[in-house]
Amino acid sequence: MKATAALPDLSPKCADCAALCCVVFAFDKSESFAFDKAAGEVCRNLQNDGRCRVFEKRQELGLSGCVTYNCYGAGQRVSQELFKGRSWRDDPSLMAPMEAALSVLRRIHEMLLLLQTARQLPLTEADKENLAKLERELAPEEGWTGSSLQSFPIDARSAEVAAFLQGLRHLVSG
């Protein structure tokens, strides 16, 4: 069985990100968000320096969705690795490719997190090999580029990971 490539850090580091979650995603006024925001619209609380104006008060101001959101480290990878620290704030033409990269890489990171959790189960050798294969596909040795993310079959891979995890259900549900 071929060793799995080094897996990326799946912890968010907001200071290393271009505040992508504050721009890319849409949300509707609800118990999780105090106001509507369209996808691609800069959040009204995002300051020019990239920090949140109400960060410490998000929960009490009705922005619990911002508190609970987790990019699993995809935001800083898009900002630092794929775009070399460049930002949509300095070059607005980067917004669309950064948005596209984040939407795929966040799903990849989420799958990697699920697979890391599955690794803790008493897996058979065949399951371990399948898990390692999935991890290699989700964390290629050569890393990701905008074009490799764009061509990555994210829906098919997501279905494959889901099927693999469903096949492990007997290990946790008795």
The first and second tokens of residue 125, run together, are 């050798």
pLDDT in the model for residue 5? 58
Are 94 and 56 in contact by the 8 Å Cβ rule? The answer is no
Residue-wise pLDDT for 46-72, tens only, equals: 999 989 999 999 999 999 999 999 999
The first and second tokens of residue 62, run together, are 């009705």
Residue 52 three-state SS: strand
Q: Is the pLDDT score of 3 beyond 50?
A: no
Residue 27 three-state SS: strand
- Nearest 5°: the CA angle 158, 118, 80 is 60
Tell which residue, 71, 57, 61, has the closest CA to residue 21. 71
- C-alpha 48/C-alpha 127 separation (Å) is 48
pLDDT in the model for residue 4? 52
Report the chain's mean pLDDT, rounded to a whole number: 94
Helix (H) or strand (E) holding 166: helix 154-166
* Helices assigned H by DSSP within 19-144: 64-68, 74-76, 95-118, 125-138
* Residue 27 pLDDT level (bands cut at 50, 70, 90): very high
- C-alpha 129/C-alpha 4 separation (Å) is 10
Q: Which amino acid is at 50?
A: G
The first and second tokens of residue 144, run together, are 């990701």
Residue-wise pLDDT for 142-163, tens only, equals: 999 999 999 999 999 999 999 9
Residue-wise pLDDT for 82-105, tens only, equals: 999 999 999 999 999 999 999 999
Place of tokens 């948005």: 99
Residue 89 three-state SS: coil
φ, ψ at 16 (rounded to 5°): -100, 10
Question: Is 96 exposed, middle or buried, given 0-12, 13-18 or 19+ CB atoms closer than 10 A?
Answer: exposed
Q: Is the pLDDT score of 9 beyond 90?
A: yes
Place of tokens 């609380």: 45
Give the mean pLDDT of 130-149: 97
Q: Is the pLDDT score of 1 beyond 50?
A: no
* Residue 174 pLDDT level (bands cut at 50, 70, 90): low
